[in-house]
Amino acid sequence: MISGIYFMKLSEKPIKSVLQLHEALSCPKRIVSIRPGNVVSFNSLAIPDCYFIHSGSANLRRAEDRKIICNIISPAIICLNDIIDLTSEVYIEAITPLDFEVLPYSEFIGNIERLNLWHPLNNILMYSLAKLFYLTHHLVVKNTKQVICWHLLTLFNEPDTIKNSTTVYDYIQQRTHISRSDIIKYLSEFRRKSMIKMDDDYLTSVAGLKKIN
C-alpha cells in the first residue's frame, strides 16, 4: 500500500435516472451510430446541445493536447448546461460502436419542466458534482507516484471494454503529463514489489494497492 494515500469511494452512477430521461425525451429518428475511432465534435453554434449516449463507450478528449478527460460509458447524458461553452475545447472519440443522439438544450430543459423530470435530472447532476470533487480530491497537489497509483486503481475498476483494450502505460500517458520515464520507473517498482501484476502490458491485479471498493 502506498503510504499517505486515501482513496475516496465514488457513489454509483444513477443509471435508472439516466434511463428515465432517455425513455422520456429520446427520439429514435435522431439516433446516430458511429464506429470505433470516429470523432464527434460538439455543435459550435450559439444554441447549446445535450448528448444522449445510448450504447457503447467513448473517450472525452481535450482538443488542445488530445488528453483524455474521462471515459463515457452508456447510458449517459453529457453537456447538461448552457453556461459553459466547451464546443471548441473537447470532443468525443468512440472506443466501441457508439449510438448517440443530439438534443437541443432548450428542448431538453423545456421537456424536463413540462414532464416534471427534475428529480432524475437532479440525481444526474449530483453525481456529476460528486465525480468532479472525487477527481479533484485525488489529483490536486499529489506527487507523481500518488497520481500513477490512483490511475492504476482507476484503470483496474474500469469496465472491461476499457481495461482490456488499453495498456497500463497508454492509460496513464493519455490522461497526464507525467513523463514516459517516470511512468516506466514507477510501474517497474510496483511490479518488483508485487503491488501490481501485468500481462503483456495490461493490468491484471492491484492486490498490493489499496482498492477502490
Sequence spans of domains, the chain: 15-136, 141-205
By CB atoms closer than 10 A (0-12, 13-18, 19+), residue 82 is: middle
The reported pLDDT for the residue numbered 10 is 62
- The whole-number average pLDDT for the span 195-199 is 93
pLDDT tier, 7 (very low <50, low <70, confident <90, very high otherwise): low
Question: Residue 178 and residue 174: Cα distance in Å, rounded?
Answer: 9
pLDDT at 211 over 50: no
Give per-residue pLDDT as tens, 78-93: 887 665 666 678 899 9
Cα dihedral sign for 128, 175, 34, 81? positive
| Pairwise pLDDT comparison (139 vs 177), residue with the higher score | 177
CATH architecture of 15-136: Sandwich (2.60)
Phi-psi group of 56: left, alpha or beta (phi > 0 → left; psi -120 to 50 → alpha; rest → beta): left
The reported pLDDT for the residue numbered 109 is 93
- The whole-number average pLDDT for the span 50-65 is 93
Which of 83-87, 136-140, 181-185 has the largest mean confidence? 181-185
The reported pLDDT for the residue numbered 141 is 58
Question: Residue 70 and residue 77: Cα distance in Å, rounded?
Answer: 14
Cβ partners under 8 Å of residue 142, min gap 6: 150
The reported pLDDT for the residue numbered 168 is 95
**Mean confidence (pLDDT) of the chain:** 87
Question: Residue 58 and residue 62: Cα distance in Å, rounded?
Answer: 13
